[in-house]
Amino acid sequence: MPVCAAIVDIVSAFRKASTKSDQAHYPSELSGGEQQRAAIARALINDPMMVLADEPTGNLDPDLALEIMNLFREINAGGTTVVVATHDRELIRQVGCRATMLEHGVITEETPAIGDESYYGMRM
């Protein structure tokens, strides 16, 4: 990939993940939410088929956590599979995404995404 095209991809991914122009800042100058969005932008640069996120909202306030989860929903709507590991069940319920709850490696609860009618035809 030519360098110019790679730069365009980087800027595009950052704009998709950022709510304001943070491009001129060093990582240490960014807030927790801005650092998370920058990490998400880095993950999107190569247009992956899947994004794995381990506790992406663990150190964020509730409003920023919801913003990050809604960003993951947008990424998913664009065709990328997003798998999030979190302990925040209420956040998952607020976002309305499909959720599989595990306790000690055993599935204890599974809920469909809001509006996912095909879920009810699945067998476990």
Read off the pLDDT of residues 92-121 as tens digits, 9 standing for 90 and up: 888 888 888 888 989 998 888 776 555 444
Cβ neighbors of 123 (< 8 A, separation 6 or more) are none
pTM of the model: 0.68
Looking at residue 106, its pLDDT comes to 92
Helix axes 3-17, 62-77, angle to 10 degrees: 130
**Alpha carbon distance 1, 71 (integer Å):** 27
Give CATH superfamily name and number for 3-121: P-loop containing nucleotide triphosphate hydrolases (3.40.50.300)
Looking at residue 124, its pLDDT comes to 40
Looking at residue 49, its pLDDT comes to 92
Looking at residue 98, its pLDDT comes to 86
Neighbouring C-beta atoms of residue 54, cutoff 10 Å = 9
| Domain residue limits, the chain | 3-121
More confident call, 2 vs 82 = 82
Beta-strand relationship, 81-85 and 106-111: unpaired
Residue 40 has pLDDT above 60, yes or no: yes
